[in-house]
Structure 1
Amino acid sequence: MTVADFIWKRLQEWGLHRVYGYPGDGVGGLDVALEKALKGKHGNDTGMEYVQVRHEEMAAFMASAHAKFTGGVGLCYATSGPGAIHLLNGLYDAKMDNAPVVAIVGQQARTALGAHYQQEVDLVTLFKDVASDYVAIATLPEQIRHLVDRAVRIAQNKRSVTCIIIPNDLQLLSYKDPPLVHGTTHTGVGFPAESKVPELAGLQAAAKVLNEGKKVAMLVGAGCLDATDEVIAVADKLGAGIAKALLGKAAVPDDLPFVTGGLGLLGTKPSWDLMQDCDTLFIVGSSFPYSEFLPTPGTARGVQIDIKGDKLSLRYPTEINLVGDSAETLKALLPLLEQTTDTKWRDTIKSNLDDWWKVLEARAMDSADPINPQRVFWELSSRLPENCIVTADSGSVANWYGRDLKFRRGMKGSLSGSLASLGAATPYAIGAKMAFPERVVIGTIGDGAMQMNGLNEMITISKYWRDWSNPKLIMMVLNNRDLNQVTWEERVQLGSGKTESTQSIPDFPYAKYAELLGLKGIFCNEPDKVGAAWDEALAADKPVILEFFTDPNVPPLPPHITLKDALNFMTMIPSEPELGGVLKNSAKELLSTIVPGR
């Protein structure tokens, strides 16, 4: 057994059976060993599954998505030099969103290191930040066992990225267990049991603050994705409203009358009101970054639960801070909470929500040139299949994904959160489909991200889709010929008109491209046919690119417009090249906010 053979064997013993990657001479030994270890090869029914991507960055994004959607450890690998460098962006996505991922990268032969050899990069230094909890280079076969064991265990335990660097000559050597002598270490397989519940005194202190609150607001994030029942039970006990960080969109269903949706620039007006009017803030499993959308410090008492102690009292000066798993801690807290009987706070939240959904529908149905992008998401919302998985890219699509889609129990959804990287929606969709081939997966992406890397990863979809038990995967593209989110940031945050040289992008026939790949392409440029286009895509028996020709000048209005934003918008007017469409659509959105259903 070679070192490379042992690596794939050991990873399987840890329960890691799917790897995303791209070959190269820096991982030649790993490539050969992987071929032998593949599921279905040589009568092997429990081997590795390999997903060949078009670019190493996509491998890292898929590993990150695997970790987010499954709760397990994601795995990717790449060759030395440029291949390893390409992994970084996707790995930073995992790091910043606390998704456990192991990266295995090749390196030039040990004898060449330090000689300024071809593709020789100081990979330990390169990966030291993104894999700050663990990065190591192997020099002897006897090291390999503990390098693999520690990389997987630390990634899972720390919810972080780890990296192992394997020189290509070492991959081909015979594997050896470390001898039982001084200077060696002997590791084993198995994730550690975690202490997931805070001590009783902390729970009692938290309960005291929460019980004294008359208007409790909960903010839940990705840490609550497996705590849906517990979050709802606690909210019902306290009579609380629930706002969600974007990564926690699937944590609680949107059809509950006290769930106000997203918070922040991409959030909802009811969530803004919830935070501004509450007297107690209860943050669970979230490191939501934008403090300006939380209560003004001093106006609300605060309690926070997080599995990572360094995330506590980070965005808001919380009074009681508990380190623990969200579900287990809420279970332990629940008996200590007093049942509220006052319904006024909940009644206000429900009223705000009822008004908000009318506003969103009115905005979605506003006319545009030719299609209002918000309508695309509004029409999808009621058509979302049971237990589907939805991914979103960064950009204006994230606004509509966060606001207009009503998630029901059992659905999953994610995007690049803290990194907010362009180009994640397609690899996320592939990662979701590989992990859950029986589910319908819907990716939502702008044309900028689709041109950046989405088009290439459609080739990956064309390579694998026939292996899926359910072939339904839809990549929905908003074709507005504009890098739309940044354009609107220029207008509202910088007080400048659209800079056409940087923001305008070429048109491309996305739907026709799907047909070239043997997939289904659907093009829609008529508002009244948006719903029918979704129906056709959802009924397809193969993956689909669903292209909507949309208006770039429909504003993704924030839930709260500041005086500074309003002044910047006025300042922008003289330099705006598409002023007519911008003013017309902005006026419609504002009118729909004031008089929905006019």
Structure 2
Amino acid sequence: MARRLADWGVDTIFGLPGDGINGLMEGFRRHRDKIRFILVHHEEAAAFMATGYAKATGRLGICAATSGPGAIHLLNGLYDAKLDHVPVLAITGMQETSVLGSNYQQEVHTTQLFQDVAAYNLMITNPQQVPGVVDLAIRNALGKRTVAHLSFPNDLQVAPITGDPYRHVSPGKPPKSSTVLSQPPVPAAQADLDRAAEVLNAGRKVAMLVGVGARDARDEVLAVAEALASPIVKTLPGKMVVPDDHPLTTGGLGLLGTRPSEELMEECDTLLMVGTSYPYGKYLPEPGQARVVQIDVDPSLIGLRLPVEAAITADARLALGQLLPMLQARTERSFLGKYQKSRDAWLSDMVSLRDPDRNPIAPQYLMGCVDEAATNDAILTCDSGTVATWSARHWTIRGEREYYLSGNLASMAPGLPYAIAMQHAHPGRQVIAFVGDGGFAMLMAEFLTAVRHDLPVKVIVNNNNSYGQILWEQIILGYPEYAVRHRQPEADFAAWARACGAFGVKVADPAALPGAIREALAHPGPAVVDCDVNPNEPPMPGKIRYEQAKYFTESFLRGQPHKIATLASVARDKFNEFRS
């Protein structure tokens, strides 16, 4: 197995050994000159690292875990890979074949457990299967951009590769040339282009919604938007497709998005969706309001949210390049101009929220300090939670910056594992994990992994001593918050960083924050800035809907604790926006 993985160019495996994969570990040891095994503290982190590695490189991510509980721990990270369409191969152990079905210790049938997450899912039953099924697993993961899984019983891990206990006909060893996988960009069919051009040229108020599927098509996206005089709205995973300071974009969409983007969706009469099947239908145009053109390389993702008049199954870059000369350049640009003005006002409001005089520290100010100090090719990873709101609105995509989070799964805790894997994949770039105290605490042992592997990741902890997003979700449902704030003492993650032999600083004074951020980013090794932020700062939606305001009020009437501090935070935000 190790040799076959090396034949495919695999150079990194993230995992945690156990007696269920000791035979595999010996194979990895014998080939450690070709494959680096990065030892983690929790299998969930290994799966997140494999996912992050695949997201940042486009290559196959691989994670390994022992049988039973080790394999079970992989699932959260593997679902993250599946739902965000990245190729990951999971390798797990299994009890000896002679004891299967006997209620043996840790006997968990992982092929049944993984049947929903893995497109290719097999328990190996004969040593001579290995080269061929490794090829098939990798081809499925790469070709379908999803998860594959191989389970390897203990006795087969140590069996002679020439052994055939069942006296079956040997399939033979595949030739090395079979490790070549062709993935050419898919061009669009002319009939589909003709229909799309017809719809787009007929539109008067055209909007574009672009997702991470268009990440390699920045120039083409901008050229098409310019021709159509179309504002560009971005999904959160697609944040890096277009620079945030470009005049054609209105920013993100949805709960973490911008007011101009939401209002744009309410007014447009034509929508061009590129590289996204955006899951939150309530933020899209009402069915029948807008004619829709959708471009996606996966035909199964077209038409999931809205009726589509023109569908193009193709690579985003190629399709947009083919479509561009068929579009009628617009001279009427009042629709675009309206939302450019709205966007400028929104950005001014966002800058006003980065108030350095507020104490406790405003989380917007924390993210703003990181944004100002980071390099133009920095990679930011983020956890789910309120940190996603602050990063969505205050991390500026410019230059070659990138941005990653758990998109469709929206899992807590991937920020640090992502950063470790991406720093390993891109040793010359600045990699920053912007995480909440809740997500960091779940897998904080992996910071020690970064130290041990000399990976200079920078971790910025937005510490509100609570599960902040859940807190606000309870309020928005009309309930007073319950069981979402931690008791004292508050965690000091900077002390943990120093205990690991790394840089760590705790910040509670807003005046000290910019210097602490700059010092951490300049540090040659791993670093943690643990920043105490205002726990009562609400992650307000771009546009407050009636139902949200209604439930917010009801939660206060029912006895919401900390309501004075919360109202004071909201009032200060609105005052700053007005003053700007």
Tell me the TM-score range normalised by the shorter chain: over 0.9
- Output the CA distance in 1 between the equivalents of 2:340 and 2:263: 12
Matched with 2:152 is: 166
Superimposed CA distance per residue, residues 433-462 of structure 1 (whole angstroms, 9 cap, x where no aligned partner): 011011100100111111111x21111111
| Structure-2 residue corresponding to 1:503 | 485
- Pick one of 294, 299, 308 that aligns with 1:304: 294
- Matching residue of 2:58: 71
The answer on 1:377 being equivalent to 2:377 is no
Determine whether 1:584 maps to 2:573.
no
1:190 positional shift: 1.9
Task: Specify the alignment match of 1:516 in structure 2.
Answer: 499
**Distance in structure 2 (CA, Å) of the matches to 1:251 and 1:328:** 15
Aligned AA (1:13):
D
Shift of the 258–181 alpha-carbon distance from structure 1 to 2, 3 Å rule, reads same
Cα drift, residue 401 of structure 1: 0.7
How do 1:191-210 residues align onto structure 2 when only pairs under 5 Å count?
Answer: 191-194=181-184, 196-210=186-200
Shift in Å, 1:195: 6.2
Aligned to 2:14: 20
Per the normalisation by structure 1, the TM-score is: 0.93
- The offset of 1:352, in angstroms, is 1.1
Q: CA deviation at 1:214?
A: 2.0
Match for residue 395 of structure 1? 385
Structure 1 residue 368 displacement after superposition: 4.1
Poorly superposed stretches of 4+, deviation over 3 Å:
176-187, 192-195, 366-369, 590-593
CA drift at 1:110 = 1.1
**Partner SS, residue 428 of structure 2:** coil
1:54-111: per-residue Cα shift (whole Å, max 9, x none)? 1011000001111111111111111111111110011011111111101011111111
Q: Secondary structure at the match of 2:237?
A: helix
Q: What residue is the counterpart of 2:209 in the other structure?
A: 219
- The amino acid across from 2:533 in the alignment is T
In the alignment, the residues of structure 2 paired with residue 375 and residue 502 of structure 1 have an alpha-carbon distance, to the nearest angstrom, of: 23
Aligned to 2:275: 285
Q: Distance in 1 between matches of 2:183 and 2:472?
A: 47
Which amino acid in the other structure matches residue 405 of structure 1? Answer: W
Partner of 1:365 in structure 2?
Answer: 355
Aligned length: 574
Q: How does 1:149-188 map to 2 (within 5 A)?
A: 149-176=135-162, 184=171, 187=174, 188=178
Q: 1:107 aligns to what?
A: 94
Partner of 1:352: 342
Name the structure 1 match of 2:520: 537
Tell me the equivalent position of 2:74: 87
Task: Give, in whole Å, the separation in 2 of the partners of 1:186 and 1:215.
Answer: 59
RMSD value over aligned CA atoms?
A: 1.8
Distance in structure 2 (CA, Å) of the matches to 1:203 and 1:461: 48
Residue 267 of structure 1 is matched in structure 2 by 257
User: Is the 8 Å Cα contact of residues 468 and 484 (structure 2) preserved in structure 1?
Assistant: no
Unaligned runs of 5+ in 1: 1-6, 40-46
Whether 1:238 and 2:228 are equivalent positions in the alignment is: yes
**CA-CA distance at 1:502 after TM superposition:** 3.9
- Contact between 1:368 and 1:554, CA under 8 Å: does it hold in 2? no
Give me the whole-angstrom Cα distance separating, in 2, the residues matched to 1:219 and 1:116: 52
The answer as to 2:445 corresponding to 1:459 is no
**3-state SS of the aligned residue for 1:19?**
strand
Aligned counterparts of 1:326 and 1:497: Cα–Cα separation in 2: 45
Moved more, 184-193 or 167-176: 184-193
Instruction: Say whether residues 1:59 and 2:59 are aligned partners.
Output: no
In structure 1, distance between residues paired with 2:404 and 2:127: 39
Q: Note the alpha carbon deviations across 1:175-218, whole angstroms, 9 max, x for none.
A: 24999996848753221344611211001111111112222111
C-alpha spacing 1:81/1:258, structure 2 compared with 1 (3 Å): same
Matched-pair contact (CA < 8 Å) for 1:79–1:105: yes
- Cross-structure match for 2:218: 228
Identity among equivalent pairs (%): 39
Contact 1:448/1:505 (<8 A) preserved: no
In 2: Cα distance, 1:411 partner to 1:26 partner: 41
Conserved 8 A contact 1:81-1:120: yes
Distance 1:298 1:422 in 2: 36
- CA distance in structure 1 between the partners assigned to 2:159 and 2:167 by the alignment: 20
Could you tell me which amino acid in structure 1 is paired with residue 193 of structure 2? L
1:559 corresponds to which of 528, 542, 556: 542
Tell me the CA shift for residue 366 of structure 1: 7.4
C-alpha separation in 2, matches of 1:101 and 1:403: 30
Q: 1:428 matched to which residue of 2?
A: 418
| Corresponding residue SS for 1:364 | coil
- Assess if the C-alpha contact under 8 Å between 1:359 and 1:596 holds in 2: no
What is the CA deviation profile of residues 539-594 of structure 1, one whole-angstrom value per residue up to 9, with x for unaligned ones? 2122110111111111111011111111111111131110111111112223444x
* 1:382 partner SS: helix
Instruction: Go from structure 1 to structure 2 and tell me whether the alpha carbon gap of 1:366 and 1:509 turns closer, same or farther (over 3 Å shift).
Output: closer
Contact 2:356 2:510 in 1 (8 A): no
Structure 1 residues 506-515 or 301-310, which shifts more? 506-515
1:358 and 1:596 in contact (8 A); partners too: no
Give me the whole-angstrom Cα distance separating, in 2, the residues matched to 1:569 and 1:199. 49
Equivalent position to 1:330, from 277, 302, 320: 320
SS at match of 1:125: helix
* Partner in structure 2 of residue 3 of structure 1: none
Structure 1 residue aligned with 2:131: 145
- Opposite residue 92 of structure 2, the aligned amino acid is V
| Aligned partners of 1:18 and 1:48 also within 8 Å | yes
Match of 1:37 among 18, 28, 31: 31
Does 2:487 correspond to 1:482?
no
The SS at the match of 1:173 is: coil
Amino acid at match of 1:160: T
Summarize deviations over 1:111-148 as a string: whole Å, max 9, x none: 111111111111111010111x2100111111111210
Matching residue within 431, 437, 442 for 1:441: 431
Give the match's secondary structure for 1:531.
Answer: helix
Counterpart amino acid of residue 7 in structure 2:
E
- Deviation at residue 528 of structure 1 after TM alignment: 2.6
Given the superposition, is the C-alpha separation of residues 334 and 312 from structure 1 closer, same or farther in structure 2, using an over 3 Å criterion?
Answer: same
